[in-house]
């Protein structure tokens, strides 16, 4: 029954959106293994559906962040120069791989990237209570400063970041991975801004959320023309992921949410290994 299949795809989207926002990895990273391993969907169609749903979660969450003025549009935009170029490069590499029927290669790269992302996600990104006023020439030139109101301490936090070139480099890689695999690469973007540019975590996560949409739109345009967006798969997945990530973000704060998060990370470990095995033709 076609309608059952359609509803199953919505459920997959809900699960992926829920797991993606609880684990902090994003819905795309979860939906691709689910679609390919459980439903036998070709990986280019799975990646296409993932990319467009990444835009949905990014744009949908943007207004929640803006109320608190957490995301820094200047910093985000300056880094988008590298993510969009990377996304173009990554999409071209993906197009080449698919045209040579080397889909297995995408499975292997996806599995490896997923395993690499799990460790920082498992450790969690926490606000380090150090003074965040690092400065260098790029701080001044690129205006890498801002402030936001921290509701937990009732204080206005002033911050600045540095090593713009470092962030830009990490963003280039994040863009390539995003275009190659059809994911948002939010984790890498957070690493670049947190570890590279020493920006506060709250600013980092919300700015990364803003950037994901622009990066994914770049790759989506190329994926669209190449025919990787299959409407019958993409529509239920976007619908599901929007619903799932809405509830996932609500549950994030609760204790039960923290325990479920661990379970999801374990399952993603299995998914990553499964993708690699699938890529080598073992599973």
Partner 1 sequence: MEMNDIISYGLRIGVIISFLLLALGSVLLFINGGGGGYTIKQLSMTNSSINSSQFSINGIMHGIDMLDGMDIIMLGLIVLVATPIVRVLLSIVAFVVERNPLYTIITIIVLTDLMIAIFIIPKLIIH
Angle between helices 231-251 and 43-66 (to 10 degrees): 40
Does 120 interact with partner 1 (rule: CB under 8 A)?
A: no
Q: How far apart are CA 238 and CA 209, in angstroms?
A: 17
H or E segment at 49? helix 43-66
Q: How far apart are CA 193 and CA 5, in angstroms?
A: 41
Angle between helices 73-99 and 43-66 (to 10 degrees): 170
Does 236 interact with partner 1 (rule: CB under 8 A)?
A: yes
78 versus 204: smaller Cβ distance to partner 1 = 78
Does 169 interact with partner 1 (rule: CB under 8 A)?
A: no
Q: Which of 269, 259, 173 is nearest to 215 (CA)?
A: 173
Interface stretch with partner 1, choices 16-24, 187-195, 215-223, 269-277 (CB under 8 A): 215-223
User: Interface mask (CB under 8 A) for partner 1, residues 11-40, using x and -?
Assistant: ----------------------------xx
Selected from 70, 173, 229, 276, the binder of partner 1 by CB under 8 A is 229
Selected from 30, 239, 275, 276, the binder of partner 1 by CB under 8 A is 239
Where in the chain does DSSP place strands (E)?
A: 145-150, 155-160
Q: How far apart are CA 209 and CA 159, in angstroms?
A: 19
Which residues make up the interface to partner 1 (CB under 8 A)? 2-3, 5-6, 39-42, 45, 48, 52, 55-56, 58-60, 62-63, 65-66, 73-74, 77-78, 80-81, 84-85, 87-88, 91-92, 95, 141-143, 213-214, 216-232, 234-236, 238-239, 242
């Amino acid at each position: 029954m076609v309608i059952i299949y359609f509803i199953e795809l919505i459920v997959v989207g809900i699960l992926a959106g829920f797991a993606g926002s609880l684990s902090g990895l994003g819905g795309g990273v979860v939906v691709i293994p689910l679609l390919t391993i459980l439903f036998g969907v070709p990986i280019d169609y799975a990646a296409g559906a993932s990319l467009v749903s990444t835009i949905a979660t990014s744009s949908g969450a943007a207004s929640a962040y803006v109320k608190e003025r957490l995301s820094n549009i200047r910093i985000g935009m300056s880094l988008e120069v590298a993510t969009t170029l990377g996304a173009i490069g990554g999409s071209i590499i993906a197009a080449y791989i698919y045209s040579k029927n080397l889909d297995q290669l995408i499975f292997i790269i996806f599995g490896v990237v997923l395993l690499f992302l799990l460790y920082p996600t498992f450790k969690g990104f926490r606000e380090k209570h150090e003074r965040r006023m690092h400065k260098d020439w790029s701080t001044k030139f690129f205006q890498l400063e801002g402030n936001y109101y921290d509701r937990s301490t009732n204080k206005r936090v002033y911050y600045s970041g540095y090593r713009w070139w470092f962030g830009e480099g990490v963003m280039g890689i994040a863009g390539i991975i995003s275009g190659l695999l059809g994911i948002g690469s939010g984790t890498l973007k957070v690493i670049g801004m947190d570890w590279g540019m020493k920006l506060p975590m709250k600013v980092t996560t919300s700015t990364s959320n803003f950037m994901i949409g622009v990066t994914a739109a770049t790759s989506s345009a190329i994926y669209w023309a190449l025919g990787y967006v299959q409407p019958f798969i993409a529509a239920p997945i976007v619908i599901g992921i929007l619903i799932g990530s809405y509830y996932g973000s609500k549950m994030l704060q609760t204790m039960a949410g923290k325990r479920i998060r661990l379970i999801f990370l374990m399952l993603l470990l299995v998914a990553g290994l499964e993708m690699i095995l699938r890529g080598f033709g073992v599973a």
